[in-house]
A and B are shown apart, each in its own frame.
Chain A
Amino acid sequence: MRHLVSVLVQDNPGVLQRVAGLIARRGFNIESLAVGRTHQPGLSRISLVVSGDDAVLEQVEKQLNRLIEVIKVTDHSEPHVERELALVKVSIAGMEERLEVKDIAEAFRARIVDVAKKSIIFELTGDSTKVNNFVEAMRPYGLLEVMRTGAVGMSRGEQVLKVREKKAV
């Protein structure tokens, strides 16, 4: 099963290497990993797409939590928003194709961000299935380049990923 996992981390040098290294070392299968800063100084947030059964997911969460710089881990099984951004460069042979490709892009609400004589770059956001479908729809026309950010996500409503209050030990 596919899971989207959010990880709140201290933004120290090497933290991404620690997270990625752990995933590789423990033999977990990840589809994508995306990372960026948060609104709070010193904190970054990582989105992982992991496949595995419940036992695997439990280990992923627990092992991530063992990393000193990992502050919080959540598996988004609850209602959540998931988005991925993709840049897709499609080769264009002639006017007819150009129109067809534009039609498809409109159906996916993809934006054109670059137009050249023999190619167009589309920008698309959506969940990963939508991005997959768009890429497949463009494939017959000739894909020149595809760059995807990997999925990012957050819980709907008031639930947030935050620094835990200091627990008494």
Chain B
Amino acid sequence: MNGAAAILKALEMQGVDTIFGHPGGTIMPTYDALYDSPIRHILVRHEQAGIHAATAYARASGRVGVCMATSGPGALNLVTGLQDALMDSTPVVALTGNVPQHLIGTDAFQEADVVGITQPVTKHNFQVRNVNDIPRIIAEAFYIASTGRPGPVLIDFPKDVQQAEFTGSFDVEINLPGYKPTYKGHPRQIERALEALQKAEKPVLMVGGGALNAAPEIVALAEKTGLPVIPTLMGLGVFPGTHPQCLGMPGMHGSVAANRAIHHADTILAIGLRFDDRVTGKVSRFAPHAHTVIHVDIDPAEIGKLVKTTIPVVGDAKWVAAELVKGAKKLSLSKWWAQLEDWKIKYPFAWKPKPHLQSQEVIQAFWEATRGKAVVTAGVGQHQMFTAQFFKFDSPRSWINSGGLGTMGVGLPFAIGAALARPGELVIDFDGDGSFQMTLQELATLKKLNLNVKIVILNNGFLGMVRQWQDLFHARRYSEVYLADSNPDFAKLAEAYGIRGITLTDKAKLHETVKEVLAHPGPVLLEARVYHEEGVFPMIPSGGAAEDMIIENPRETVAGD
């Protein structure tokens, strides 16, 4: 057995069933071994799409996503995806080929310092220098990726290591003396958290992507205490979006109720989130009345990093939430809820109807038609925010987007990864005309796999989010955001790949078109030509606070005129 065969055997032992990848010179021995392996390989058309698909595979399934690339350009195409997975704490293992060891450092063909370059964008990375280390390093990589705060791990395999005769053992022991994640929260801190909640008059429960595995415990905690719940962009679905105690997401394009609740809250219980600047706005003005911030996170470095924490709880969200449920009591929050209800009723996510087709109504129509039973992905921009606002996510791992890095182009590769992770389920990619064009080559991968993925391009002919900022903050100087004059006919593009393409322009035909899209078996691309100057609101301008929230588009008169 050579090193390449050992790599595949070690992957099998980790339970890997799918690898997203693209071959090339230095990874060829492993592709040769793959020829005899039961592991399914998904041939993507660009390595970046491979790692995004692996990321979505991980997020949709809860297992480790795996991708593979050759040295140099192949490996470098993973960099964006590694940082994306790092920022959204997703367990991914990336395997790269490298030039043979005797050529490392000589500027050989397709050589790059991949281990050096990917150090800051991975949770950890390895270069295997001895063929017999393969099983141990692969076991350590999967352990690191999937435990503690999950993240991407890259393993670099010089070609000669893949070719060398393997004489080692697969019975390996993980040896990581510096890596011991804490799962159980400190009992005294949990007690203090429960005491603080008892005393709170205006508490809120915020949940993030770190609570993906804790959904049942979060629901139990909310229902037992009566706490209002605010899921962040990454936490959508951890608590059902249709639950009466859900206030919607917070932050830059969050709900009025969520942002005002945080602004007026005296106590914040935050589980599995990292107070991103898109959530807090200006940190010094964030939650100014909160005398108590209870922060539960498995990564000690997140606690106190941005927001001053009064009760730190280092531990796994699921474990800590379960302990909190045990000790929790019903809180008397009727006065607080009266206020919250008022905000919820007065300021739901809404749009002002126009004669044109609008993004919001397209998303809403899909939500209604599917009853929310779908795995949803998005690119990055206005369409992403509209999806977060109007598709109510009721279960965890049903919303896969790029929250931390904001990577345009993830929509389609995420959809492919999610569809493979969740066979039999409907996957919808709400995409933008700008985002979609960053990875559209993956239509070929989609066609080959014939997955039940519905691509809905909300085509407003602009890089809409940038245009919105130019509108509000740059005196409407629309610098380099206009796409409509050179966008392709997206339906025809899909048809060119052999995928059913549909174009929708007429508002009146929305619902029948949604039905048509959903009824078609296999992949469909729907191009919805939507109003091009829509803005996402509410909006807290960058660096602002809840009080600076712009509730409705200032360019338009008040709704109801």
Contact = CB atoms under 8 A, between A and B. Distances in A.
B302 to A, nearest CB: 9
Contacts of A17: 116, 119
Nearest to B153: A68
Contact of B177 (A58, A65, A71): A71
A93 interface: no
B204 to A, nearest CB: 25
A9 B177 CA distance: 9
Contact of B119 (A10, A14, A63): A14
Interface stretch (A119-127, A143-151, A159-167): A159-167
B180 A166 contact: yes
Contacts of B178: 9-10, 67-72
Contact of B183 (A66, A69, A169): A169
B111 interface: no
B304 interface: yes
A52 interface: no
Interface in B161-190: 176-184
Please classify how large the interface on chain B is, using the bins under 10, 10 to 19, 20 to 34, 35 or more: 20 to 34
A68 B180 contact: no
Contacts of A169: 180-184
Nearest to B149: A66
A68 B176 contact: yes
Interface in A2-25: 9-10, 13-14, 17-18, 21-22, 25
B144 interface: yes
B305 interface: yes
Interface string A88-111: 000000000000000000000000
B115 interface: yes
A32 interface: no
A38 interface: no
A55 interface: yes
Given A59-B301, A65-B300, A167 B177 contact: no
B124 interface: yes
Interface in B108-161: 115-116, 119-120, 123-124, 127, 144
A130 interface: no
Contacts of B301: 59, 62-63, 65-66
B59 to A, nearest CB: 21
Contacts, number: 50
Please classify how large the interface on chain A is, using the bins under 10, 10 to 19, 20 to 34, 35 or more: 20 to 34
A151 B124 CA distance: 28
Contact of A167 (B119, B127, B182): B182
Given A10-B178, A25-B120, A68 B305 contact: no
Q: Is the interface of A mostly helix, strand, loop or mixed?
A: mixed
A101 B458 CA distance: 78
Contacts of A71: 177-178
Contacts of B304: 55, 58
A14 B115 CA distance: 9
Contacts of B181: 169
A50 to B, nearest CB: 16
Nearest to A162: B177
A17 B119 CA distance: 9
A167 B115 CA distance: 30
A115 B116 CA distance: 43
Interface string A32-57: 00000000000000000000000100
Nearest to A71: B178
Nearest to A25: B120
Nearest to A14: B115
A85 B304 CA distance: 37
B124 A68 contact: yes
A21 B119 contact: yes
A140 to B, nearest CB: 44
Interface in B300-343: 300-301, 304-305
B299 interface: yes
B299 A66 contact: yes
Contacts of A59: 301, 305
A9 B119 CA distance: 16
Contacts of B300: 62, 65
A68 B123 CA distance: 8
Nearest to B144: A68
A25 B120 CA distance: 8
Interface in A58-82: 58-59, 62-63, 65-72
27 contacts: A9-B178, A10-B177, A10-B178, A13-B127, A14-B115, A14-B116, A21-B120, A22-B120, A25-B120, A58-B304, A59-B305, A62-B300, A65-B300, A65-B301, A66-B299, A66-B301, A67-B124, A67-B178, A68-B123, A68-B124, A68-B176, A70-B178, A163-B177, A164-B180, A169-B181, A169-B182, A169-B184
Interface of A: 9-10, 13-14, 17-18, 21-22, 25, 55, 58-59, 62-63, 65-72, 163-164, 166-167, 169
Interface of B: 115-116, 119-120, 123-124, 127, 144, 176-184, 299-301, 304-305
Given A25-B120, A59-B305, A164-B177, 10 more contacts: A18-B119, A22-B120, A66-B299, A66-B301, A68-B176, A72-B178, A164-B180, A167-B180, A169-B182, A169-B183
Closest 4 CB pairs of A and B: A62-B301, A71-B178, A68-B124, A68-B179
